[in-house]
Each structure stands twice: as C-alpha cells, then as structure tokens.
Amino acid sequence: DDMEKQLHLNLLASKPPTAGGFQCGSKMKMGPGRKRDFSPLPWSQYFETMEDVEVENEHGKDIFRIYCSGSHGPVLLLLHGGGHSALSWAVFTSVIYSRINCRVVAMDLRAHATPKIKNPDDLSADTMAKDIGKVVEALYGESPPPVMIIGHSMGGAIAVHTAVANHVPSLLGLCVIDVVEGTAMDALNSMQNFLRSRPRTFKSLENAIEWSVKSGQIRNIESARVSMGGQVKKCEESPSSPGMSNSIDEGIIEEEDEEGAEESNKKKMKEDDQEMKKETLFTWRVELSKTEKYWEGWFRGLSSLFLTCSVPKLLLLAGVDRLDKDLTIGQMQGKFQMQVLPQCGHAVHEDAPEKVADALAAFMVRHKFTEFKEGYLCFECATLGC
C-alpha cells in the first residue's frame, strides 16, 4: 500500500500523507516547544522581479506570470509540477543564484496561477510545450540566450516535450526532477483517490501552509510558507455553499507550556472571531481531477523521448526505485547523468533546495555552461574535480 502511495507522486507535485496521517479533527502533536510560524512569506524575498508576459496564439492573447532573478549568464527556465506554481522554486532560486552565474525565470504554467489564458482547460503536453517556446520568444526575441530547462514532475514531462519539439532553439541542457514514465503510468489509476483524500478547503492561508507541512506534502517549512500561496486561492463561493465540506480547520496543535497555551487560546478565539467576520475560505487553484484526460499524454513514452534529447541531461530522483527499464538501460549506457537525493519527498527541490542547487551547479559547471560565482566553493566539485 505504501508503494502504491509513492507511485502517485510522479503525477502530482505532492506527497500524500503517510499511513495513519492527517485527518480532519485528529490532533497532531509535534513534541514540546514553541508553536512554529506558518505565516506566508512574500515572493520578493526570493526573486528580483515578477512580470506578466503576453504571447499571441490562435485564439488571441495569453498572459503568463514569471518570476525572475539575474541579468547575465545562461537562463534557468523552471517549470513546476501539477497543481503547484512558480513559487515552488522560490527557495531553490535564491540558493542557485548564490552559487553560479545565471539568470532564473520561473514560470506559472497555463491554468496554474496564470493571470489570463484564453483556453485554460487545454493542458495537453503539446499546448503547454508551445507555451514555453512562446514565452522564451516573447522575453528574448529572435536570438535568445542559452537556456537550461529544469522541470519537476508534470513540469519535467513538459520540459522533455518542449526539448523534443525544439521550441527553445538555444537549449543548452535538460534537468528532470522526480518524474519517470513507468512509475507515473502505474500511479494514474489510483490518482483520483489520492486527490479526493486531500482537504477541499482551508480556513486560512496559514492553515493551508500548516497542512502542507504536517501532511508531508512539503517537508521544508520555509518553502511551504512561500509556495502554498501559489497552490491555493480564496474561495469564490461562500463557505455555506454545498460541496464545501471536507475542510481542514481544527486539530493541528503543538505542545506548548501552560502559560503559552492560555495566551494562544485567547489569541485563537480572537482570530476565530475575525475569521467568522471575514468568512473567507481557501481552496485549490487547480482542480487536478478535471485534468485527467491529459495525464497519459504527459507521461506516455516519456523515457524514450528523454533519451532522444541530444542535449546533456540530468535526472534527479527522490529514490532509485523510480527508474524504469528504458532509463535503467540509458543510464548504463551513459546517456544521462543521474543523482538520487534520499530523505526527500516528491517535491525534491522544495524539500532539499541546497542539494538540488549543488547537483545542478556541478552539472552546469562540468559542462562549461557557466562558472561558479567568485568566492563560492562547491564541495562536490572540490571532491569530484569538475
């Protein structure tokens, strides 16, 4: 059963709760200590700018939101997983930007926190790959700088489709994070059950952040505080509307000393009063269950497509058991570089941004795509000799 849960991860950029994990009304005790801070963090703490990029298509104009840092060096184009947003790359961006000379562009994919899309329901691999090419063209015109595409989960699949279709002519390399065709295809049958097991609504953004950390979806509290705002939005319907059940509000508690607990209770009552006045609930931005018809198209044939990309490739995995037959053979033949980052959930770049940044920096320097920033010593390179 645990293995089946693990298989779901290759579609969703989320890790489901562990067995006997979070349920509405259950009390999760985190041991002694002060209450942890689940307040949201702003994007501006991690990226330099946020822009809306307008692109033309058959139906008119689409607008995509991007978050950027840097103005020199190769472009790291970051594509998030299903249901997530560009903000899932926030902590990783600040780390990689301190390591190597590069510029970062993290993009909200269609229907994922994007401001205005003419046909938001079309999440086919083909359409999403074309979006990537159009955004790169809108940003850089006819002669784009060298681009390294890095994609997680669904974003990793879209990165491969973008590379194969040559939508980014200045493509330098490809990095795919924790998505493998075999395990992804196996997971599709039970994905809807996993989606149904998630809470439908949260009473606040803080509550959503708290759930994401304590359910194990994101194991890095800092990343959760900046990225969950890209996963959830304020509900358009009122909380009393039908279909708004399965909400998480009570029951996530911390052990505190008695004095702290009393103070916290008063504060909570005050917050609850304010909450009732506001009557605002938060829900998921993307109804992933409605995207089911596209799932197979994202992942079918992905391993062989990945192997046919002529650029240097890096595959980062949360566990070696995720490799399928095609990739195992390709890895033996040296067709790509692979690194396993243990002790991570599926959202590898959120759980371990420093490890992912180290692996990517070493890969890019080894291939002479860029250099380390002055004064930064890469431990991996010092030991392996890049």
pLDDT in tens, 353-376: 999 999 999 999 999 999 999 877
Over residues 228-245, mean pLDDT: 68
Please, are residues 306 and 327 in contact by the beta-carbon 8 Å criterion? Answer: yes
Catalytic residue (choose from 112, 152, 167, 346)? 346
Following CA atoms 137, 138, 139, 140 in sequence, which dihedral angle do they give, to the nearest 10 degrees?
Answer: 40
Catalytic residue (choose from 14, 153, 223, 303)? 153
Active site residue 227: no
Determine the pLDDT at residue 268: 52
Give the model's confidence band at 10: pLDDT under 50 very low, under 70 low, under 90 confident, else very high: very low
Give the model's confidence band at 335: pLDDT under 50 very low, under 70 low, under 90 confident, else very high: very high
The mean predicted confidence, pLDDT, of the chain is: 81
Catalytic residue (choose from 178, 326, 351, 358)? 178
* Burial class (CB within 10 angstroms; exposed 0-12, middle 13-18, buried 19+) of 101: middle
User: Does the pLDDT value for residue 30 go beyond 90?
Assistant: no
Domains of the chain by start residue, with CATH: 46-188+292-384 (3.40.50.1820)
User: Does the pLDDT value for residue 266 go beyond 70?
Assistant: no
Measure CA 124 to chain center: 18
- Residue that wins the pLDDT comparison between 90 and 382: 90
Over residues 40-60, mean pLDDT: 92
pTM (2 decimals)?
A: 0.81
Active site residue 178: yes
The mean-pLDDT minimum among 14-28, 81-95, 103-117, 195-209 falls in 14-28
Cβ contacts of residue 385 below 8 Å, gap of 6+? none
Active site residue 153: yes
Determine the pLDDT at residue 15: 38
Q: Per residue in 105-162, pLDDT tens?
A: 999 998 776 667 777 778 899 999 999 999 999 999 988 999 999 999 999 999 999 9
Determine the pLDDT at residue 290: 86
Q: What percent of the chain clears pLDDT 70, i.e. is strictly above it?
A: 77
